[in-house]
Amino acid sequence: MAQEVTVLDKVFVPYITRAEISSRISEMAARINEDYAGKNPLFIAILNGSFIFAADLFREVTIDAAITFVKLASYKGTTSTGNVVTAIGMEERLTDRHVVIVEDIIDTGKTLSAFIPEIESQKPASINIATFLSKPSALKYDVKAAYTAFEIENKFVLGYGLDYDGHGRNLPELYILK
């Protein structure tokens, strides 16, 4: 059993084991393999947090599929919403592609609610979200994931790609604030 870990000023305790993570990812990949057979989906993994989840999920996607990575930079714009998200590294043509957005965690849903319209503007054949985690009680925007490995309580988590101030991404399992 993993021990608690201290990162900077905070203590985290083990929350979801590597075995549980692997098993849920296998289930998710199996559903994706079925749902996207013959469709050559394009996975768009959102950096940095999703890179470990994306690698583990994509390894188990056995159908013909492609993956690309984007980094989202948000800044205060002059739109009505006041928020603009730019995708750095998005070079693929999305028109008529089946897109699967890969995210580490949907918290309020703000990030994806800003990013999805950018994808939609390129008229893909379909868009779905595959997220490692979601916090249903924190959700404030209309964002629904077709594939979710774990729904968790509204507390800060760490590890398996998710960081606390740049630390802890390399922890192999998921920890939660003590």
Among the listed residues 83, 110, 126, 128, the single contact to ligand 5GP using CB under 6 A: 110
CB nearer to ligand 5GP: give 56 or 104: 104
Q: How far is the CB of 172 from ligand 5GP (least distance, A)?
A: 15
Among the listed residues 107, 115, 148, 149, the single contact to ligand 5GP using CB under 6 A: 107
CB nearer to ligand 5GP: give 42 or 105: 105
Which residue, chain included where needed, has tokens 């768009």?
A: 44
What is the spatial distance between Cα 132 and Cα 116, in angstroms, rounded to a whole number?
Answer: 17
Among the listed residues 41, 49, 159, 161, the single contact to Mg ion using CB under 5 A: 49
Catalytic residue check, 107: yes
Instruction: Out of 107, 142, 163, 165, pick the active-site residue.
Output: 107
Say how many C-beta atoms besides its own lie within 10 A of residue 86's C-beta: 15
